[in-house]
Each structure stands twice: as structure tokens, then as C-alpha cells.
Chain A
């Protein structure tokens, strides 16, 4: 009998400015199963760094509208990024854009 081998991939999350401050680091590498969605990666980040979750998730459970999400330098905000499949060695950037005059 052949045992199913779990295939894991590595993803790097890059955080900027306030998010990096809250996490205490600018880069985080996760080992995750193949076919993990971006949403699941973000949840993994939230579980590991609840301060980041506290900032990004409002009381109603929705993400702040200001979060910019990139996968390998491609902006995903105008797409349905939560179901976006993450690939091996993906670099995911989370950024809070500035507002004001």
C-alpha cells in the first residue's frame, strides 16, 4: 500500500510599515500544503500574529478596506484574491496604503 505523501510548499509573506511593526518582523515564511488558498495563508498569519489580525479585521469580521494584497508583485485586490491558489515560493505582500491630503 502506498501512503499518500503530503506535499508542502513554502510561501514568504512580506509585511510593510505598521504591519511589520505589529508582527515584529518584515518577512515570515510558512510551510503550507499544496493547493492552499491565499485566504488560508492569511488566516495562518492571523493565528500566528493576532496583533496583525486585530488591526486588519474589523469588529464585524470583515477585512479593512485598505489592505493591499500582492502575489509575486501582482496586485490582487481587484480580483477574488481569497481563493487565489498559492504556489511554491510565492511572495505575498500585505500593505496598508496611505490616505490623506
Chain B
């Protein structure tokens, strides 16, 4: 039993090979050192996975970890982290879902779950108020996520279960298979859904009504929590914009600045951006707002198509990243097709960013005559702008049919097989396809993507500070330090469990008083600015060390050749390019700030000692 607030003090360990479930107590020292979410996930993965394992073999593990704010009254803290060695990148992967699963797991009595081994037949995990069972899922295998969710609720006789599910994408080990949570949310990135699929684990269903985390100091916390609530709800811009558009509003602003990834990043302006802009969705597609646990912002949109070929299609969103990946990146200007693609990915269990980027890559390969049409195995011509081809390819990928067998492995592996220079326009970092924020148009993101432990993710280094003009997006000056500071705040965000939507209230750059006060009020761990910075550094370095153990160092802190060799050809940001020499300069400065060896990019022994990561030193410096 932990003395700290914010925790139930227990993880479930589920061994699918042995059909065995045990409860494990969280030690206070472990809590103090890693705190939650991101920290727990990184610590378990590094300690429990040997280096070099097959990500789709039984030695890999899927970890679910909540943060200390999960299930507490702190505003907009619904995130649950999923962690595994990624089949897409071969490195550390964390992906976070909103919704209610995180709070529900706390209310069921647990801070997290470790899933290991391999089941010889399809199963799902049922966690209900302190009791966990492995249940048969043979009848669910092959079903989409929506039908699976419905059937599990029916079987368990309780429609209030919160369920994380894989679809055919995960079953077929698509390297970017997503985990779909409560039909509406996703832990999409990096293929953790495929890791579930490799274990024959179809779903994790959670119901909790009997437990809740205690608050360490309710008097201290009340004032801080109220201030945070006021800060968020008084922000008219945030509240109104998120309610009307969700994240879909980013399309117009990126188009206006000429940094909207288009035609597989051959361009960064899209002539028909207005057709897929925020208003196109808000006026014609979005119906009502949905909220995650404890969130007044309600940025998720319930949506439907009212006319045309896809009339009566009901779904959620789409969010900006999906509008980018299935819209401008594939030169598709039809909101209904973007929504159809989004819905297919949610049902089949695919990451919409990686799926869209991979399809755009395939379209460019076709147009450059690197892959003949016959190999695609689809009716429509796979050229940019062909909406039918886009939708056909999603199915092919999920089912690994025809060209889908190749594309299911992501652009890095597909380009390695296709060759013929296709590596130059395979848009990934460390194997993870890039999100929709320009690596050429923001110098901070040039470095941010390159050094992200996940790969091509926009969730570590955030573009928002450059986007809003607080930092000049066209200059490299100060960007290594900005990366370090923003990464510190995003690590703490993912460790505590609050959402990106309220980053402005907690602070986006560096460790803030709000982070310290909330964490101390909830948990009773006595953090100050220095010790919370140390925590952020520790977790970031632990993730980095995981990747180092897998053989990843400075050579993988790079960008797709397209971004380093081809300037943005047109529009307001024309001429911007991620010059290799600029990246190298920023890397040197960044490594110095991080305490990493400049030549190799590996954390030094002294740095790891400062961060009290002795178990990492033992592994990385054992020779």
C-alpha cells in the first residue's frame, strides 16, 4: 500500500502464456523515481525487455499506465499510456489515448497493467472492480473494433465497460496497427495494436466503480485545481475554437502559412485547402461535442455525412492529423472521403497518420513508375487525388492483401524493398511516419522530429510556440534549448496524464509551478523545480537509452532526405529547407544540453549517474 495520493498502489501482471494474473504492489521508491504514465512505462520496458527482442514475439510486453492525475478531479487529465517495443521503429514507443479508460482503470483498483507472453488462442482481458479474468475471444477474432466493442459489452452484460480493442489491422500485424479505445479514441502510434495482435489479445475491457485514488492534500489542491479550471475555461479562444473545430482548425492556418503537407510533402500548399478546412467540417459534418473524463473543453466531434455517396456514415472527428494524412497529403479535397477513411481506420484498427503517409508514399511510387499498377491489386488508379484508390488501399493494408502486404510494414521498410530512390521520399523518422507539422517550416520541428524517441511524432517537441510567433519558426537560434524545455513539459504531461489541449494552462515550455503544485497536492511527493526537471530528464534519457540498447544513436537522429534536399517549392514558406548542416549544428548543441556524447548521441555515464539510472549504466556500459 503506497503512502502517496493519486495511486491505487497496484499493477496487474497478466501472463498470457501461463494464463496467470497476479497483483503487484507499487513500491514507494519506484513511484518517487518514475511517478506515473510515461515514467512507469519507460521503466518497466527498459527493465523487463532484453535488448534485441522481436517486437512481435512473446518476449515483448504491452504496458498500460495511468498517471497520478487519472481519476482525480484535476481538469482534462484523461490520458492512459500504452507502451511496447515498436514493430514499426524497433525502438521505444508510447502512445496515449483519451476517453475514460484511464479513470475507469483506477476505479477498478489499478494504476496499470503489464501484459506478457502469448496466448495460444484469441482472448480478451476482463478487469472488473479488483477481479481480472482472461476470457475467450475466438468469436471476436476477425471482427472490426466497433462490433468487437459491442459484443464484449453484450457478453459481459454491462454497457459501461471501457474497452480498448484491436481490429483486423492488429490481428494481421500491420506495423502501425492502432488500439481503439471506446470506439472514439485511439492509442494509434507505433503499432502497439500489432503487439497486442501478436499475443492473440483482442481487447482489454475495464469496469470500475469501487475504488478511487485518494488526494494527499485536498486543501492545497483545491485552490490549484480551481485556478487551472478557470484558466482553461476563461480562455475564450481555446474553448470556442476547440468546441467548434476540435483540432480540425489547424488546416486553414497551416495552409495560410504554406506549411500544410501536400502530395507526400512534394508541396506545402494545397489549392483546395478551404474544402477541407475547419469550417468545411464544422458546418457540414460535425454534429455535437463529446468529452473525455473531466474535460470541459469537449474537443471531440461526433460527426456524420448528410448527403452524397457516404450519406448516413456516422463517426467521430476527424482530427487535424487525419485531415492532413488522408486529405492534402493524398491530394484529396473531399471531407466525406476523409471521414470515410478515418472511420475505416478506426474500425480496422490502423493509425491514421501512418496509413495516410504510407498511401501517399505508394501514390508517389506509382506516379514515378517505381511500382506497376498491377501490383496494387485495386480497381482505381493509385494516383494522387484518386479517392477510391485511397479507400481501397486502406483495406488492402489492414488485410495485408496485394500491395497491402508491403505497405503494412510502413514506409521505411517499403522503401527499402522498392529501392530506386524511393527512400528519398519515404516520410518517416526512425521508421515512424511524420505527423502534419512541417519539418522544413519550423526549425524547432526540424530538430524535434529528429531527436524524438518515438520518431516522427509531434507530441514531444511541440510546434505551438513557433506557430504562435513567440519563437521565430524560420531561425535555428535557441531551438536546441527550446526543444529541451518543451520536451521537459511534454514528458511531465505524459507522466501526469493531462491532455495536450490544456498544455497552455500547465505551461508549454519547461517545468511550471502548476505542474509542481498539482503533483504535490495530489501525491504528497515533495517535488520542487529542480527535482521535477530531474524527473523529466530521467524519463527522457531512459527512453533514449532503450533506443540506444537497440542500436539507435546519432545516425537515426535525422530527417527524410526530401526535407534536407528539397526546399519547399511554393507558397508563403517557399525556400525553407532543413539543411543538413543546420540540423548537425542543432544536434551538437542539443546533445551538449542533454549531457550526451556529441559523436554517438549516447547519454554519458555521468549523465546517467546524475539521473540515478544505475540499472541503465549496468546495461549500456557493461563492456
Contact = CB atoms under 8 A, between A and B. Distances in A.
Contacts of B469: 68-69, 75-78
A98 B249 contact: yes
Contacts of B240: 18, 55
A61 to B, nearest CB: 14
Interface in A14-48: 16-18, 20-21
B248 interface: yes
> Which one of A76, A93, A98 has the highest number of Cβ atoms from chain B below 10 Å of its Cβ?
A98
Contact of A17 (B249, B471, B500): B249
B253 A18 contact: no
Contact of B236 (A54, A69, A97): A54
The A interface is mostly helix, strand or loop, or mixed, namely loop
Interface in B475-516: 499-501, 503-504
A84 interface: no
B242 A17 contact: no
A97 B474 CA distance: 17
Interface in A43-100: 54-56, 58-59, 64-70, 73-78, 93, 95-100
A55 B247 contact: no
B424 interface: no
A64 B238 CA distance: 10
A70 B571 CA distance: 13
> Which one of B247, B249, B258 has the highest number of Cβ atoms from chain A below 10 Å of its Cβ?
B249
Given A78-B469, A100-B299, A64 B237 contact: yes
A65 B470 contact: yes
B277 interface: yes
A37 B246 CA distance: 33
Contacts of B254: 97
Contacts of A17: 241, 244-245, 249, 252, 277-279, 282
Given A98-B245, A98-B253, A100-B246, A73 B572 contact: yes
> Which one of B468, B473, B500 has the highest number of Cβ atoms from chain A below 10 Å of its Cβ?
B468
A82 to B, nearest CB: 12
B519 interface: no
> Which one of A69, A73, A75 has the highest number of Cβ atoms from chain B below 10 Å of its Cβ?
A75
B225 interface: no
Nearest to A81: B469
A5 B470 CA distance: 40
Contact of B256 (A21, A64, A70, A77): A70
Given A66-B468, A68-B468, A98 B247 contact: yes
Nearest to B499: A101
A73 B492 CA distance: 36
A99 B297 CA distance: 12
B230 to A, nearest CB: 11
Contact of B468 (A21, A70, A97): A97
Contact of A18 (B244, B251, B320, B472): B244
A11 B117 CA distance: 66
A96 B251 CA distance: 11
A95 B501 contact: no
Interface residues of B, number: 46
Contact of A99 (B252, B256, B257, B503): B503
Contact of A93 (B256, B278, B473): B256
Interface residues of A, number: 31
A17 B279 CA distance: 6
B613 interface: no
Interface string B459-471: 1000010011111
A77 B468 contact: yes
B236 A96 contact: no
A84 to B, nearest CB: 13
A46 B237 CA distance: 15
B277 to A, nearest CB: 7
A14 B493 CA distance: 35
B250 interface: yes
Nearest to A70: B256
B319 interface: yes
Contacts of B238: 66, 99
Contacts of B319: 100-101
B198 to A, nearest CB: 26
Nearest to A93: B256
Contacts of B499: 101
Interface in B268-283: 277-279, 282
Given A68-B257, A75-B257, A18 B468 contact: no
B497 to A, nearest CB: 13
A38 to B, nearest CB: 14
A78 B474 CA distance: 10
A52 to B, nearest CB: 11
Contacts of A97: 249-250, 253-254, 464, 467-468
A69 to B, nearest CB: 8
A97 B251 CA distance: 8
Contacts of B503: 99
Given A55-B240, A70-B256, A16 B277 contact: yes
B36 to A, nearest CB: 18
B99 to A, nearest CB: 13
Contact of A98 (B96, B241, B471): B241
Given A17-B277, A75-B572, A100-B500, A95 B256 contact: yes
B244 A101 contact: no
B245 A18 contact: yes
Given A21-B244, A100-B500, A16 B256 contact: yes
Nearest to B501: A100
Given A16-B277, A17-B278, A68-B253, A100 B247 contact: yes
A95 B244 contact: no
B256 A68 contact: yes
Given A17-B249, A59-B234, A78-B474, 4 more contacts: A18-B241, A97-B464, A98-B250, A100-B500
The 4 tightest CB contacts between A and B, nearest first, are: A77-B469, A98-B250, A101-B500, A100-B247
Interface of B: 96, 234-238, 240-242, 244-254, 256-258, 277-279, 282, 299, 319-320, 459, 464, 467-474, 499-501, 503-504, 572
Interface of A: 16-18, 20-21, 54-56, 58-59, 64-70, 73-78, 93, 95-101
27 contacts: A17-B249, A17-B277, A18-B241, A18-B244, A18-B245, A18-B278, A21-B244, A21-B279, A65-B504, A66-B468, A67-B468, A68-B253, A68-B467, A75-B473, A78-B473, A93-B256, A95-B252, A96-B241, A96-B249, A97-B253, A98-B247, A98-B249, A99-B242, A99-B501, A100-B246, A100-B320, A101-B501
